[in-house]
Amino acid sequence: VNHRDFYLCHFLIDKGVATTAGGPGPDPVNIVLIDLHRAQIRRSTPMRWIVKDLGGLYYSAMDIDLSRNDLFRFIKTYCGQSLRVALEVPVDWGRVEKRALGLYRSERAALQ
């Protein structure tokens, strides 16, 4: 599945989840992905759509001060592998970053 509008604003997080000073509580967090009307369901998603979706997600998170460790944690979780293995999987993380930076620069230029 590729979303085609994969941005943070399309994730709804249950506000009823208990939190502590150290982060989310022991209960699982309920996250819902919305605006699926443009999503495409395929047997195999082409890399360009994976890059577009992940680039959009990264772009939408650029102003929330993600650390390098946050990015690596996302990559590990997304791939379900150790970081070493995750960076060797078919996802071209360089293209994802390039796409996100392009969107970010384009938005900033439009605002000026």
> Rounded distance, CA 34 to CA 31, Å?
10
Cβ partners under 8 Å of residue 51, min gap 6: 91, 92, 95, 96, 99
Q: Which residues are catalytic?
A: 5
Helices assigned H by DSSP within the chain: 47-60, 68-79, 83-86, 93-111
